[in-house]
Structure 1
Amino acid sequence: PGVVVSHELLSRATQYEPSITTGRISGFKQDIGGQRVLQTDAAIIQGNSGGPVFDDRGQVIGAATFTSLQGEQVVQGFNFLIPVETIQEAASKAGVTPKGDSMFTRLWNHGVDLYIRDLHYRAYRNMSAANRIHPGFPDVERVREDCDIKHKEQGYLHREEYQWALIGVLLVGGIAGVWFSGRRLMSATRRGIRGIVRDELDAREGRSPP
């Protein structure tokens, strides 16, 4: 794992930077325990075990498990993955039930969606909440900082918090206007009803209306 999370020539700021390799599924094998494994030519090094493997649609299809060695050197192009079905079966036998996305994942996904839609203020808040759960993730910090910069570059009328405040003021003003209009209408209605009743009584008594 030391090879993955640190290197004498890399800065500490990149300690948790994700890295991605690409490759193809080049074979279907079985390990010595009879479990199905997938052979891949994607580069895998010590410390990658357990890392997710995605297909071209972004779906997890397995996890990196073991590589091939020649002496102490990793032989690339002859690496293996555990299929996701095997992982799910093992989890089920162990009584582990997936509970859906974690709070961090939900905050991250929603924050990215807001960021793509240029809703930087709300995206910043989501990323800040995600950062409090798992601090130090470079992607979270990068999006969070970019949201902060873009939010400050926006004019006041384009900032979401001011837009919501303006909507709130207009909403309160509208409700107040409807309330006062309603009171005036009710007052006029009562006066009209009293006039009709008075005219009816005058007519019954044979008096002319004033």
Structure 2
Amino acid sequence: MAGSNLTRRRLLKAVPAVAGAGVAGCTGSLNDGGTDTPTETATPTPTATPDLPNVHQRTVQRDKAAITHVSAVVSGSISWPSYSVIDTVDESILGTWEGEDEQFVLTVDGEFEITGPDYSYSGTYVVVEDELVLEFDSGETSTFRYERQDGDSAPILELRQDGELAARYHRTRAGRSRDAVEVAEDLVLLEDEGAGTITESQDLEARASGSGFVVTSDGYVVTNAHVVLADKTPEEMLYRQLAAEQRRALREEFASGYDLTDSEKRQVEEVLFETFMSYYVEHGSVDHVAEQFNVLNGRATPDDDLEVISWDATVEAAGTVVTEVDGEPSWGRDVALLKVDREPLPTVSLGSAEDLRTGEEIFVVGYPDIGVDQLFEDRNVALEPTLTTGVVSARRTLNSGIEAIQTEAAINNGNSGGPMYDSDGEVVGVATFGPADAGIQEIKFGLPVEVVKEFMAEHGVENESSELDEAFEEGLNAYWRGDCETAIEKMETVLDLYPGHPYAGNYIDDCESGDAPG
């Protein structure tokens, strides 16, 4: 028996078989000296070679250890002066009002018109508490304290300046009511003044995530530049996080007062977000800012500590997410290089997109857009690579001169930065989903792998495989054809080189439990 060539795992598996053979049929010291009984040798039945998995399955199994979840965390403390939320339109005074030889119209759009026998004025207005502020088209501004009363036959509106009655009207036609989106658009945040002013502060964390793929065994990872926040400052990320939290709180009031469609809900949320964002950017300040980037390969469950099982990463280089061409925004070279201090790591092999044509199948492998909160609240949710498929809908050159592979494949925020494959399982691009706030059309596209290679070359990084990749692929091929002896040997080599490999042990377990193909 060649015991010196057995690994510990294989030796443990072999022990029962060796012991049984010694008792039942081996000659030597255990032989009782009797005459051996001849036995017939049966002709073994040929074992059919298992069918290979399809290209999707083969590619995912081959590369998923090199496909990573990329996360960015920005932390800091924001301070801002307290404010009041003001509705700048009072629906009770909307409509047409008649006074002595004068008509006064206030519209739901925030516009007014005053018409007399030989004059006419117009402009815009806002309501702040019990004051009506008129800004005339000429640029002049007049402020009135107003009071609406219920008259005997029609409502009465009185305007006063310096305590003196300036005008008195009765309403002849009521204005229309606003919808929820219009109400949201009419809200403003006014900084508190005087004794009621306080400075508020909050410690915040803002997170973003996407996918990536390892391109060198010594730890270089490719992803999208927007995944590592190349298009936003840390301060902007924190302001956005605070604005989103305040928007959610105010959104509940709208949800209880209106029966909103999904489209209206989105519009209300967008309007409220911009209102809060503008206030914090103008009046707020940020201190103690820190950024952290992490890379995870494999699978995370609610029982895992993501910060423990992820690797710290540094952003070595990042391209431009959005560029301006002739005064209009356009997508740039949305690629970034991360570096983790780990080796050897599994890698993907970069192919070519030069022959990729419209109508051809492509598929994307990446981590789904699962928030950390959802991961820990839903015990059935796991963070792991998934596959989406589609076709090339167009090859186009963007305004910025960047070549792009436009696709109808289901690419979402989580897939951003992940590898895009052709029907042969070759990496032909990096999947990209543009951020919704970039100010240009959201399209699902891939940057051709040639763009990635060019970016890597500019920073002295070359795609390379290693002994680890070779052993893993040989082990996979053996596993698929039902050769568990070779599969176990190769996967144990993988684990010797990279003890933390997230999947190699699964193939060994399948072979030992009899669940392998064949």
Give TM-score, length-normalised by structure 1: 0.57
Name whichever structure is richer in helix by fraction.
1
Compute the displacement of 1:110 (Å).
Answer: 0.7
Alignment counterpart, residue 61 of structure 1, candidates 411, 425, 428: 428
- Structure 2 letter corresponding to 1:28: R
Compute the displacement of 1:19 (Å).
Answer: 0.7
Q: Secondary structure at the match of 1:22?
A: strand
2:475 corresponds to 1:107: no
- Please list the CA deviations of residues 70-108 of structure 1 after superposition, one character each: whole Å capped at 9, or x if unmatched: 89xxx7xx3010101111122222222233x23332222
- Please list the CA deviations of residues 144-190 of structure 1 after superposition, one character each: whole Å capped at 9, or x if unmatched: 21112239xxxxxxxxxxxxxxxxxxxxxxxxxxxxxxxxxxxxxxx
Alignment counterpart, residue 50 of structure 1, candidates 393, 417, 430: 417
Q: Secondary structure at the match of 1:82?
A: strand
2:492 corresponds to 1:125: no
Compute the displacement of 1:54 (Å).
Answer: 0.9
- Structure 2 letter corresponding to 1:135: G
Provide closer, same or farther for how the CA distance between residues 29 and 50 of structure 1 changes in structure 2, counting only shifts above 3 A. same
2:396 corresponds to 1:29: yes
**2:336 maps to what in 1?**
none
- Identity across the alignment (%): 29
Q: Secondary structure at the match of 1:23?
A: strand
- Please list the CA deviations of residues 15-37 of structure 1 after superposition, one character each: whole Å capped at 9, or x if unmatched: 33x21000011122334532111
Q: Distance in 1 between matches of 2:463 and 2:411?
A: 27
Provide closer, same or farther for how the CA distance between residues 42 and 29 of structure 1 changes in structure 2, counting only shifts above 3 A. same
Compute the displacement of 1:46 (Å).
Answer: 1.5
Compute the displacement of 1:56 (Å).
Answer: 0.9
**2:509 maps to what in 1?**
145
2:9 corresponds to 1:9: no
Q: Secondary structure at the match of 2:514?
A: helix
Alignment counterpart, residue 87 of structure 1, candidates 446, 452, 461: 452
- Structure 1 letter corresponding to 2:489: R
**Equivalent residues of 1:68, 1:79 under 8 A apart:** no
Quote the RMSD (CA, aligned, Å). 3.2
- Structure 2 letter corresponding to 1:114: A
Q: Secondary structure at the match of 2:507?
A: helix
**1:207 maps to what in 2?**
none
Q: Distance in 2 between matches of 1:10 and 1:25?
A: 36
Name whichever structure is richer in strand by fraction.
2
Q: Secondary structure at the match of 1:21?
A: strand
Number of matched pairs: 144
**2:37 maps to what in 1?**
none
Q: Secondary structure at the match of 2:390?
A: coil
Give TM-score, length-normalised by structure 2: 0.25
Q: Distance in 1 between matches of 2:447 and 2:379?
A: 30
**Equivalent residues of 1:111, 1:124 under 8 A apart:** yes
2:467 corresponds to 1:98: no
**Equivalent residues of 1:23, 1:40 under 8 A apart:** yes
Does 1 or 2 have the higher relative contact order (CA < 8 Å, sep 6+)?
Answer: 2
Q: Which ranges of 4 or more aligned residues in structure 1 deviate by more than 6 Å? A: none
Q: Distance in 2 between matches of 1:131 and 1:15?
A: 22
Compute the displacement of 1:43 (Å).
Answer: 0.8
Please, which runs of 5 or more residues in structure 2 have no aligned partner? 1-208, 211-368
- Matched ranges for 1:120-199 at <5 A: 120-131=484-495, 133=498, 135=500, 137=502, 139-150=503-514
**Equivalent residues of 1:121, 1:148 under 8 A apart:** no
